[in-house]
A and B are shown apart, each in its own frame.
Chain A
């Protein structure tokens, strides 16, 4: 059973701080990794994808991938109350191509 694990939270950070969201996966052969943001009552929205080891930056967001440790993370710099949402980590299944989602981490940014 291929699994993606996330701490469900809630993770609470003050406005302006760095929020760090973590994800581990079980399939060592996984190649594609995604972070989605889901506001309450809405559908998921793609924030970032990462395929290579290391860091990938896009504005206030940085995705980090360590395939040796089977670990992917998302950093949100200068967190804003509008970043309060559930963040879903997803890993593409190499065999079927479908995304395997973690349970999601609820982030709360306090003003």
Chain B
């Protein structure tokens, strides 16, 4: 149990375009999901907490208008990187809380050219 999937696993896009990343809890319902970003050789950085049916809570320094989060159902949260730039290239990982623990998806590697 507690399987989290992400799609796509990797994406390459041109600067200025928007990219949507999906995060799904496959065998459980998740009222709370989390979005992280990780640069090479660095630890996880929490970007925002996504709550089903309400607005996401963003961490300090994260632009909510650039990183749009939607958690419309108990099994799906999406992160849209709007007007992506090369500095947004990173490893984006979602996670979902279940049974007191937190489980991570496989991550999405984004490369902005």
Contacts and interface: CB of A to CB of B under 8 A. Distances in A.
Interface of A: 32, 34, 36, 42-46, 49, 88, 90, 96-99, 101-104
Contact of B93 (A32, A43, A103, A104): A43
Interface residues of B, number: 17
A103 B45 CA distance: 10
Contacts of B11: none
A36 B105 CA distance: 13
B100 A44 contact: no
28 contacts: A34-B101, A34-B102, A36-B104, A42-B106, A43-B104, A43-B106, A43-B107, A44-B44, A44-B93, A44-B104, A45-B104, A46-B101, A46-B103, A49-B100, A49-B101, A88-B43, A90-B102, A96-B49, A96-B57, A97-B49, A98-B34, A98-B46, A99-B34, A99-B46, A101-B43, A101-B44, A102-B43, A103-B43
